[in-house]
């Protein structure tokens, strides 16, 4: 009883509505752990990276760093490896969107039909998703071994010459596209499937009565109604694809001839392996702004669509 009275008293004095706080500091206690962690490990690094980008910070001698103005930025635009990495990631992003999203949509359409054994197909298509990128990369490194890998022995069995795969500057980036799409398509298939199942059967039946064939109803019903799902998937793939690092790191070390070097991997090598934090930060700023712009556009477009 006493507690109720106390509460009523306090509430009378408070300017806030009933569901509002009774102690002004309480929300702070609840947020404090998250705010501190996000502040120290996300917000602060983002700010510091911008600051470091204008210094010659060397990892082992942080106290001797000096302000160097825009010289890191001038350097990076003439750095052939960084330029090559931007070119590679552009190729990767475009290819992965076409291959992975296309495959995922195809698989979802295949499974969406009522057929015996669909559950097995679904499990099969999804199975690569359960492997981590490290596992996938190491596994395919063995499968794609030019000398005694399983893939080349299958190719030879059907009469195709053995391929160099990851050891070829021409093939390596496309092999990484293939492996990444193979790993990720199953997850996106599930999202497409959820989207497909939201489209009511009646729409298709109505179209059928109007004389539409299967291709026409796919083009004029399925695709337009699936647009929000597709937009979402394309942009999530896009953002994730920009950050490609583990596959080239494990499978090719960025080679051969930097043909699979990616911006994030190059930043890692420069900042961590070569310890040039200042220069790596400048590249981070340039590349980070690029990702942020794409990410921002995504939000705008997705809002219109969903």
Partner 1 sequence: MQGVKKIVKTILLILLASLFVFPLLWMISSSMKPEESIYQDLDSIQALLPSFEVSQWLTSYSELFARFDILGYLFNSILYAAIVTFGSIFINGMAGYAFAKFQFFGKNLLFSLLLAMLIVPVETVVITQFTIIHNLGLVNSRLAVVLPMIANAFFIYLFRNFFIAVPNSIIESARIEGASNWSIFWRIMMPMSKPAIATVGTLSFIASWNDYIWPLMILTDGDKFPLQVAITNINSTQPVFTNQIMAILTISTIPLIIVYIFAQKYLLQGLGSSGTGSK
Centre a 10 Å sphere on the Cβ of residue 136 and count the other Cβ atoms it contains. Answer: 21
Judged by CB under 8 A, how many residues of this single chain contact partner 1? Answer: 99
**Residue whose CB is less far from partner 1, 26 or 200:** 26
Given 44, 74, 83, 98, the residue binding partner 1 (CB under 8 A): 44
- Fill in the per-residue mask, 64 to 103: x = in contact with partner 1 (CB under 8 A), - = not in contact: ----------------------------------------
* Contact window for partner 1 (CB under 8 A) among 86-94, 124-132, 163-171, 213-221: 124-132
Give the whole-angstrom CA distance, residue 264 versus residue 266: 5
* Contact (Cβ atoms closer than 8 angstroms) between residue 298 and residue 235: yes
The interface with partner 1 within residues 21-40 (CB under 8 A) comprises 21-24, 26-28, 30-31, 33-38, 40
Give the whole-angstrom CA distance, residue 23 versus residue 247: 51
* The dihedral sign for the CA sequence 128, 132, 135, 141: positive
Give the whole-angstrom CA distance, residue 106 versus residue 192: 9
Decide: is 191 part of the binding site for partner 1 (CB under 8 A).
yes
User: Closest Cα partner for 199 from 165, 232, 223, 215?
Assistant: 223
Side-chain-side CA neighbours of 16 within 13 Å: the count stands at 8
The interface with partner 1 within residues 268-287 (CB under 8 A) comprises 268, 271-272, 277, 280-281, 284, 287
Give bridge partners of residue 55 from the DSSP assignment.
Answer: 67
Q: How far is the CB of 154 from partner 1 (least distance, A)?
A: 8
Given 187, 196, 204, 221, the residue binding partner 1 (CB under 8 A): 187
The interface with partner 1 within residues 213-232 (CB under 8 A) comprises 232
Decide: is 125 part of the binding site for partner 1 (CB under 8 A).
yes
The interface with partner 1 within residues 242-261 (CB under 8 A) comprises 242-243, 245-246, 249-250
Residue where the block lists tokens 């795969």? 165
* Contact window for partner 1 (CB under 8 A) among 77-85, 90-98, 164-172, 295-303: 295-303
The interface with partner 1 within residues 127-166 (CB under 8 A) comprises 127-135, 138-140, 142-143, 148, 150, 153, 156-157
Given 196, 203, 221, 240, the residue binding partner 1 (CB under 8 A): 240
- The alpha carbon of 149 is separated from its chain's Cα centroid by a whole number of angstroms, namely 29
Q: Please give the structure tokens belonging to residue 223.
A: 């695709």
Using DSSP, state whether 133 is helix, strand or coil. helix
Residues 6+ apart with CB under 8 A from 182: 128
Q: How far is the CB of 243 from partner 1 (least distance, A)?
A: 5
Given 16, 67, 70, 77, the residue binding partner 1 (CB under 8 A): 16
């Amino acid at each position: 009883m006493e507690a109720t009275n106390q509460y009523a008293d306090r509430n009378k004095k408070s300017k806030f509505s009933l569901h509002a706080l009774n102690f002004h500091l309480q929300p702070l206690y609840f947020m404090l752990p998250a705010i501190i962690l996000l502040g120290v490990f996300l917000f602060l690094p983002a700010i510091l990276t911008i600051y470091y980008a204008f210094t010659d910070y060397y990892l082992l001698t942080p106290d001797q760093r000096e302000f160097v103005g825009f010289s890191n930025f001038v350097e990076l635009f003439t750095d052939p490896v960084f330029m090559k990495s931007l070119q590679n990631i552009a190729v990767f992003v475009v290819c992965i969107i076409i291959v992975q999203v296309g495959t995922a949509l195809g698989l979802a359409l295949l499974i969406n039909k009522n057929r015996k054994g669909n559950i097995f197909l679904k499990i099969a298509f999804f199975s690569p998703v359960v492997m981590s990128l490290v596992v996938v990369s190491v596994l395919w490194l063995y499968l794609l071994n030019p000398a005694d890998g399983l893939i080349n022995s299958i190719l030879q069995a059907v009469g195709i010459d053995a391929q160099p795969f990851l050891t070829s500057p021409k093939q390596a980036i496309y092999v990484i596209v293939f492996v990444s799409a193979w790993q990720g398509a199953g997850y996106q298939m599930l999202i497409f499937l959820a989207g497909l199942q939201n489209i009511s059967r009646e729409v298709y039946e109505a179209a059928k009565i109007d004389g539409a064939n299967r291709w026409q109803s796919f083009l004029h019903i399925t695709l337009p109604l699936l647009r929000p799902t597709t937009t979402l998937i394309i942009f999530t793939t896009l953002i994730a694809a920009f950050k490609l690092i583990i596959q080239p790191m494990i499978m090719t070390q960025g080679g051969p001839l930097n043909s699979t070097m990616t911006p994030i991997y190059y930043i890692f090598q420069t900042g961590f392996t070569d310890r040039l934090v200042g220069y790596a930060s400048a590249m981070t700023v340039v590349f980070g702004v690029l990702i942020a712009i794409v990410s921002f556009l995504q939000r705008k477009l997705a809002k219109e669509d969903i």
